[in-house]
A and B are shown apart, each in its own frame.
Chain A
């Protein structure tokens, strides 16, 4: 645990950032940054949980004055784990593990409360600590027992490292929890390991825990896992049933589902950004009474000044603002551009966002552009300030296969740019209106299309670019909607109110 900032002031809100603020730019990071900047009357602390030190560079944000504490920990950094021989573990602890394992098998899918021991930090730091888990004979025997019972046909080394990689961060997290400073409220922007840390802290310090989910962590991990190549199913065709997910992938999925449920149980308040997300949370085991919706907001005042910079004509530019990674499905955008360009050769497609996160995918996208002979139409601009891009953009687009509540859509609205997006996350609610009756009456601020469907996308682009009246209507609706429901002021007011209530009432409050 490395403390980078400690101003020795009491922390009102302790935020847990898993792989986000302040090292990685992105939606959640910006959200955290805005939240801290926007509520200067509260002192914030941030515990950053990274994967490995080498995965992160410099701090990417100008840290606010009221960020009084910042510490950094790494979940998958095994370098410090020296080899300890003769690590002794208590027999009872492992028989308890057998009990837990059975418990998860039987009660894993129902809404039973978790065994008390799991809520105690000392279970992870004393009874079965990291060294015992990584090095002891008992732990080894436990792993091979489980393997023999459930995964006999899986490659053992994959099974072994899966179990290790999955659980080892738990111990790191427990240690972080043990050493964390005092605070009034703990607030995690995701479930996963961050949510688990917040849960432990909340149980241990008896302080309220707010969970704000931007996406649905459990579900996103599941999508990631089902798409990963690194867990290659090595079984032969006849060894598995059709559609069967192999045991190791299943382990990860079940693990994240359990952690998700644990976090839901522990949290005092569960916030989602839009109604679909709330429903998914409930389906994953969240108590409906704890679930509320607080949408994000954007700086409408400043962004709307960009409207004056717009040219008279609608720029024939379609901009995809986002990282070049598979989840954003940039390839579908490129395919759609092929169709649009056949009809309107002077249309340009800009892909604005960092390309270094998944170099292979970026390479594939560039190849696709070449294959389609779109070099003059589709451009990768890298990371740019959206404020420079919006006035030159005719349509803002998102082709993602999964989203939470994309702030960029709202920013585009505030800057007077309609949006064409896939039907994921809150996109439908943002574009067609869906908060309430009044919202629906405002009308369409663009178009929503199914995922991975280049034809429908292209159709929507062409319609908007060719029909100036329609475009104007969409712009009007966009501005209207963002001003009515999604201003940063509203967002900050909501959180200010929640924080104040929580501080007053502690864990008992709902």
Chain B
């Protein structure tokens, strides 16, 4: 499935407005598709399922529980995500193809095992009153999320975008269909429907992986070998995921910004609802970023390193190096430009949007701030992606750590400063993190040739 960038390039070669729109749409689906599908389905489920229930509270409980499951499973698997992706990429480079599948399964089982144990213990303690079925469904959903994130990131790195998208569509569709029939039986039935959809999605991705990779063994744990992995990636992955959620945690667990939903599970109505919409709003930027990175930057990157490896003259190496740096800059700038336009459009139509979702217009000021936050988060992601492309592991680690720490500190500060400041924690944290990561990236790119030759 490595042909995505090729396909996109082919579409773009037609050089018409429709071809750009086509490539852009395609790119949106592939890059932002899975997360748009999950967010939108969760939001939509409220409107779709409301007619079938007496008490709408269970749907809200369901939505919040799923959000928690996503957050904590992402953070737990964060330790593995970058590490295992890199591990597999390295094995592919060594042409040790038969190590890919058993190690992926090994890592997945490890994460699912850990996920099962932690979520089971957690729910045993905190959901005693909800009964055994709830505890089991909570645990199973969490476990399957843990496996899903691992296989999802690995397949994404293997560029199986289309199949991932297809599986997400089917999985979430299955959830919606089943839930419509079952919703009247209460919260447990909703969790069960969700489990059906997730299981379908998970096994589709897993089956796809098994089908395309051969091995005689089921499990291997080579990724425990210190020489085969990068420790910094374990912490970068964890910190980034923690950073993404930590401002939400601050709002969820501060008593005066949150309400109790179910046992220890709390939600922050002020913060969560605009946040969902703010994340949807960055889809166009993600598409451009994906397009630019996959199609343009990747090409210049390959050209530069090929010139280095295959004996070009220094002059050519300099030339290609400049092209590549320019392209890296364009990835970031174009993402900023397009998302900037999208940002303005969203602001222009914010009233309609909120009315469409029947959300109170009181959220508008915070929505604007959070949209700025997610806008900056997109830029930060782009810089991180480029750092990772150049294998600047330490720089990526420092950037992620900066993000996590500042996002926690600043968000906490804003909670105490009062409602007018909500959201600015995320915004300023990202401003600082972007600054740090850009400085680190610049420092590396300024001396790219020296780094390539002397420090490798």
B40 at the interface (CB under 8 A from A): no
Count B interface residues, CB 8 Å: 16
B315 with A157: CB separation less than 8 A: no
Q: Which of B311, B453, B455, B456 contacts A158 (CB 8 A)?
A: B311
Contact with A along B304-315 (1 / 0, CB 8 A): 000011111111
**Residues of chain A with a CB closer than 8 A to B112's CB:** none
CB pair A152–B450 under 8 Å, yes or no, is no
B454, A155: Cβ atoms closer than 8 Å: no
**Chain B residue with the shortest CB-CB distance to A157:** B311
Tell me which residues across on chain B come within 8 A of A148, comparing CB atoms: 314
| Pairwise interchain contact A157-B455, C-beta atoms closer than 8 A | no
Residue A144 lies at the interface, judged by CB distance under 8 Å to chain B: yes
A368 an interface residue at 8 Å Cβ cutoff?
no
- Kindly state the separation between the CA atoms of A425 and B312 in the bound complex, as whole angstroms: 41
Report the separation of the CA atoms of residues A85 and B314 in the bound assembly, to the nearest whole angstrom: 23
Is B287 interfacial (CB-CB < 8 Å)?
no
Taken together as a complex, chains A and B put the C-alpha atoms of A153 and B313 apart, in Å, by: 6
Interface code A146-165, partner B: CB below 8 Å = 1, 0 otherwise? 01100011111110100000
Give the CA-CA distance A153 to B316 in the complex, in Å.
Answer: 10
Within 8 A of B (CB), among A123-163: 134-137, 139-140, 144, 147-148, 152-158, 160
Among the listed B309, B312, B450, B454, which residue makes an inter-chain contact with A134, where contact means beta carbons less than 8 Å apart? Answer: B454
- Is B317 interfacial (CB-CB < 8 Å)? yes
Closest to B394 in A: A85
Known contacts A157-B308, A157-B309; A152 and B315 CB within 8 A of each other: yes
Question: Do B311 and A135 touch across chains, with their CB atoms under 8 A apart?
Answer: no
Contact A156 B454 (CB under 8 A): no
A105 on the B face (CB < 8 A): no
- In the complex, the answer to whether A140 meets B315 with C-beta atoms within 8 Å is no
> A160 to B453, Cβ gap below 8 A?
yes
Q: Which residues of A contact B449 (CB under 8 A)?
A: 140, 144
* Chain B 305-347 interface residues, beta-carbon cutoff 8 Å to A: 308-315, 317
A112 within 8 Å of B (CB atoms): no
Q: Closest B-chain residue to A160, C-beta based? A: B453
Q: What's the minimum C-beta distance from B315 to chain A, rounded to whole angstroms?
A: 7
- List chain B residues, Cβ under 8 A from A234: 311
Interface assignment of A242: CB less than 8 Å from any CB of chain B: no
Q: Is A4 an interface residue (CB 8 A)?
A: no
Contacting residues, chain A, for B315 (C-beta < 8 A): 152
* Bound form: Cα–Cα A161–B444 in Å: 22
Chain A residues, CB < 8 A from B454: 134-137, 139-140
Judge if A83 is at the interface, Cβ distance under 8 Å: yes
User: For the complex, what is the distance from the CA of A148 to the CA of B313, rounded to whole Å?
Assistant: 10
Alpha-carbon gap, A139 to B308, bound state (A): 19
The residue on B at minimum CB distance from A139 is: B454
Q: How far apart are A153's CB and chain B's nearest CB, in angstroms?
A: 6
Residues of A within 8 A of B317 (CB): 156
Complexed CA–CA distance, A144 and B315 (Å): 10
Expressed in whole angstroms, the Cα–Cα distance for A147 and B449 within the complex equals 14
B316 CB to nearest chain A CB (Å): 8
Contact B314 A156 (CB under 8 A): yes
| Interface members, chain B 271-313 (any A CB < 8 Å) | 308-313
* Nearest neighbor of A134 in chain B, beta-carbon distance: B454
Chain B residues whose CB sits within 8 angstroms of the CB of A156 once the complex forms: 308, 311-314, 317
- The contact of B311 among A83, A85, A137, A155, by CB within 8 Å, is A155
Do the beta carbons of B455 and A155 come within 8 Å of each other? no
Contacts of B308 on A, CB cut-off 8 Å?
156-157
Residues of A with C-beta under 8 A to B447: 137
Which residues in B have their C-beta under 8 angstroms from that of A155? Answer: 310-313
Kindly state the separation between the CA atoms of A396 and B314 in the bound complex, as whole angstroms: 53
- Which chain A residue has the least Cβ–Cβ distance from B456? A83
CB distance from B149 to the nearest CB of A (A): 32
Chain B residues positioned under 8 Å from A158 (CB to CB): 311
Measured CA separation A85–B440 after assembly (Å):
14
Residues in B whose Cβ lies below 8 Å from that of A153 = 313
- A83, A140, A147, A157: the one contacting B450 at CB < 8 Å is A140
Shortest distance from the beta carbon of B439 to any chain A beta carbon, whole Å: 16
In the assembled complex, the Cα of A129 lies from the Cα of B54 at a distance in Å of: 80
Q: Which residue on A lies nearest to B309, using beta carbons?
A: A157
Q: Considering the complex, which residues of chain A in the window 29-71 have a beta carbon less than 8 Å from any beta carbon of chain B?
A: none
Q: Which residues of A contact B453 (CB under 8 A)?
A: 140, 160
Which residues of chain A have C-beta atoms less than 8 A from B450's C-beta? 137, 140
CA distance A83 to B454 in the complex (A): 9
When the two chains form the complex, which single residue of B309, B311, B312, B314 contacts A144, counting CB atoms closer than 8 Å? Answer: B314
Bound complex: CA A493 to CA B64 (Å) = 96
Residues on the A chain within 8 Å of B312, using CB: 155-157
Q: Which residues in B have their C-beta under 8 angstroms from that of A136?
A: 454
Contact with B along A371-391 (1 / 0, CB 8 A): 000000000000000000000
Q: Which residues of chain B are within 8 angstroms of A134 by Cβ–Cβ distance? A: 454
Distance between Cα atoms of A139 and B450 in the complex (Å): 10
Minimal beta-carbon separation of A152 from chain B (angstroms)? 7
Q: Which 8 residue pairs across A and B have the least CB separation, nearest first? A: A155-B311, A156-B314, A140-B450, A140-B454, A83-B455, A157-B311, A234-B311, A135-B454
Question: Could you list 28 A-B pairs, sorted by A, with CB under 8 Å?
Answer: A83-B455, A83-B456, A134-B454, A135-B454, A135-B455, A137-B450, A139-B454, A140-B449, A140-B450, A140-B453, A140-B454, A144-B314, A147-B314, A148-B314, A152-B314, A152-B315, A155-B311, A155-B312, A156-B308, A156-B312, A156-B314, A157-B308, A157-B309, A157-B310, A157-B311, A158-B311, A160-B453, A234-B311
